[in-house]
C-alpha cells in the first residue's frame, strides 16, 4: 500500500460534473489499495472572481481579509469533493489548510510554509479516510489565515507529500504534462516524458506556470518526484525528478516566456561604490523582487541602471525609487511595462556556447530588438518588447527544432 498525494487544479474541478469525474479518479486510486491525500484548487476562475469582488468593495482591500476571502474558494471545492466521495460510498473528509497543519509566516498573499504538522492528516488516513485538503492556504501562529500566492495549491501538495513521506506527488491539470513550450502558444510543442528539477526550476521561474515554482523547489529539496498529467485523460504525463533528464541529449529542453514583467531604468547614475546598494536595498525592504539587472559601462563617471520586476510591483517600485534617484543625483527614472521575456532552457547550454548565438540570430531574423540579456548555466533570457514575445517563442521553438526532439 502506497501513500499518494494528488493535486487537482481549478479547471479540473470547474463544475459539478468535473468534480464527480475527479472523485471517480480518486476512488480508483483508493481501490488500488493506496492511501490518498488530495489537494484541491478553487473551482474554475473562483479566485479571480473573489479578487474582483474585493476590489469592488475597497480600493485597497485589507490583506488579511483578502486572504480569508480567497481561502474560501478552496474550502468550497474541498467540501464538495468530500461529499461526492462519501455519496459514492468512500470514507472521506475535507480539511482546511489550518486543520491540515499548514503553518506559514504572516506575509499575507505570499505566505511561506514554515512547517507542516501532519498529525491530523495521518490520523484521518489511519481511520481509512481519503483526506481532501484545501490548497493554497495556511495559518499563522496567531491563527490568521494566509494564502501562498497564485498557483500555490501545487506547493501545498508537494509540502504535504514531503511531510508525509509520500512516494510521489501527482499534479492533474488541463494539459497532458510539461511541453517544450506552452502548448497554448505553440501547437507543435512536444510533450516531455521527464524533466530534471534543475531545468523545471528554470522553466517555472521564467514563466512556465504549469507548476508553481516553490512546488518544484520543495520537490527538489525533499526529493519528491512530481508527476504532471491530465485530469481529462489517462495518458502517462511528465515526471519531474532528480538526476539527469532523458532529454539531455537534446541540449535545449524548452522555451519559457513571461509577459508579467516591467522594467525601470535609472538614467545618469553617478558611477561610484554604494550606488547599487542604495537603490536595491530599499526595493528589497519594500518586498519587491528584482529580477534581471543590467548596468551599462560608465562614460565620464555616469551610467544607466536597468532592472525588471513583476508588473504588479511597478508602481510601488517607482514610488520607492524616485526619491532615491533624486538623492543620488541620477538624471531620471523611466518605467516601461510593455516588455516580456523569452528564455531558452536546457542543461546542454552550459557546454555549447553556440546556443546563445543561435538564439540571438533567430530573434534578429524576426526583427526582434533585444533590450536586455541574462543567463544562468542552463538558461539564456532575452527581455524584448511585449508585443513580440509570442512570435519569438514560436521562432525559437523552430530554431532549436524542439518539435522533433532531434
Q: Which residues contact ligand ASP (rule: CB under 6 A)?
A: 9-10, 41-42, 47, 73, 135-136, 150-153
174 binds, among Mg ion, ligand ADP, ligand ASP, none (CB under 5 to 8 A by kind): ligand ADP
For ligand ADP, which is the closer residue by CB, 116 or 228?
228
Confirm if 38 and 130 have CB atoms less than 8 A apart. yes
Sheet holding 379-385, edge to edge: 293-295, 302-309, 254-270, 332-345, 379-385, 372-376
Bridge-partner residues for 334, per DSSP?
265
For ligand ADP, which is the closer residue by CB, 153 or 306?
153
For ligand ASP, which is the closer residue by CB, 70 or 395?
70
Shortest reach from residue 89's CB to ligand ADP, in Å: 27
For Mg ion, which is the closer residue by CB, 215 or 279?
215
107: CB partners within 8 A, 6+ apart: 146, 287
73 binds, among Mg ion, ligand ADP, ligand ASP, none (CB under 5 to 8 A by kind): ligand ASP
For ligand ADP, which is the closer residue by CB, 67 or 199?
199
C-alpha cell at 221: 529539496
Q: Cβ–Cβ contacts within 10 Å for residue 278, how many?
A: 13
Shortest reach from residue 280's CB to ligand ADP, in Å: 30
Please give the residues from 147 up to 166 whose contact with Mg ion meets the rule CB under 5 A.
Answer: 151
196 binds, among ligand ASP, Mg ion, ligand ADP, none (CB under 5 to 8 A by kind): none
- Share in percent of the chain as helix, strand, coil (round to 5): 40, 25, 35
To 5 degrees, how large is the angle CA 39–CA 41–CA 47? Answer: 155
Shortest reach from residue 154's CB to Mg ion, in Å: 6
Binding region for Mg ion (CB under 5 A) out of 145-153, 176-184, 194-202, 226-234: 145-153
Strands 226-230 and 92-95, bridge-based pairing: unpaired
For Mg ion, which is the closer residue by CB, 97 or 151?
151
Q: CA–CA separation, 359 vs 76, rounded Å?
A: 46
Shortest reach from residue 217's CB to ligand ASP, in Å: 15
133 binds, among Mg ion, ligand ADP, ligand ASP, none (CB under 5 to 8 A by kind): none
248: CB partners within 8 A, 6+ apart: 347, 348
Interface ranges with Mg ion (CB under 5 A): 151
Amino acid at each position: 500500500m502506497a501513500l499518494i498525494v494528488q493535486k487537482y487544479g481549478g479547471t479540473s474541478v470547474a463544475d459539478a460534473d468535473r468534480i464527480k469525474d475527479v472523485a471517480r479518479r480518486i476512488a480508483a486510486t483508493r481501490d488500488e489499495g493506496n492511501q490518498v491525500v488530495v489537494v484541491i484548487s478553487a473551482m474554475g476562475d473562483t479566485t479571480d472572481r473573489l479578487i474582483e469582488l474585493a476590489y469592488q468593495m475597497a480600493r485597497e482591500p485589507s490583506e488579511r481579509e483578502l486572504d480569508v476571502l480567497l481561502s474560501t474558494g478552496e474550502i468550497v471545492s474541498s467540501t464538495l469533493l468530500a461529499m461526492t466521495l462519501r455519496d459514492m460510498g468512500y470514507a472521506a473528509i475535507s480539511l482546511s489548510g489550518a486543520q491540515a497543519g499548514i503553518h506559514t509566516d504572516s506575509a499575507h498573499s505570499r505566505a511561506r510554509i514554515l512547517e507542516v504538522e501532519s498529525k491530523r492528516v495521518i490520523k484521518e488516513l489511519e481511520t481509512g479516510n481519503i483526506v481532501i485538503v484545501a490548497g493554497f492556504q495556511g495559518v499563522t501562529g496567531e491563527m490568521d489565515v494566509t494564502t501562498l500566492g497564485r498557483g500555490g495549491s501545487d506547493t501545498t501538495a508537494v509540502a504535504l507529500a514531503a511531510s508525509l513521506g509520500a512516494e510521489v506527488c501527482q499534479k492533474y491539470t488541463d494539459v497532458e504534462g510539461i511541453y517544450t513550450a506552452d502548448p497554448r502558444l505553440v501547437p507543435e510543442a512536444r510533450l516531455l516524458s521527464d524533466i530534471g528539477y534543475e531545468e523545471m526550476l528554470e522553466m517555472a521561474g521564467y514563466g512556465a506556470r504549469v507548476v508553481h515554482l516553490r512546488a518544484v523547489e520543495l520537490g527538489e529539496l525533499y526529493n519528491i518526484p512530481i508527476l504532471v498529467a491530465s485530469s481529462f485523460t489517462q495518458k502517462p504525463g511528465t515526471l519531474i525528478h532528480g538526476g539527469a533528464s532523458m532529454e539531455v541529449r537534446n541540449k535545449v529542453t524548452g522555451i519559457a516566456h513571461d509577459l508579467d514583467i516591467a522594467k525601470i531604468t535609472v538614467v545618469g547614475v553617478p558611477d561610484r561604490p554604494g550606488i547599487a546598494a542604495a537603490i536595491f536595498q530599499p526595493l528589497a525592504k519594500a518586498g519587491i523582487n528584482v529580477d534581471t539587472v543590467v548596468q551599462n559601462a560608465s562614460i565620464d563617471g555616469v551610467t544607466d541602471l536597468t532592472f525588471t520586476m513583476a508588473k504588479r510591483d511597478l508602481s510601488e517600485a517607482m514610488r520607492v525609487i524616485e526619491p532615491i534617484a533624486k538623492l543620488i543625483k541620477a538624471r531620471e527614472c523611466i518605467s516601461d511595462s510593455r516588455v516580456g521575456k523569452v528564455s531558452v532552457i536546457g542543461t546542454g547550454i552550459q557546454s555549447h556556447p553556440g546556443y546563445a548565438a543561435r538564439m540571438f540570430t533567430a530573434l534578429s531574423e524576426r526583427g526582434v530588438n533585444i533590450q536586455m540579456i541574462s543567463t544562468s548555466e542552463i538558461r539564456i533570457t532575452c527581455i524584448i518588447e511585449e508585443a513580440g514575445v509570442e512570435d519569438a517563442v514560436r521562432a525559437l521553438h523552430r530554431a532549436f527544432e524542439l518539435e522533433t526532439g532531434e
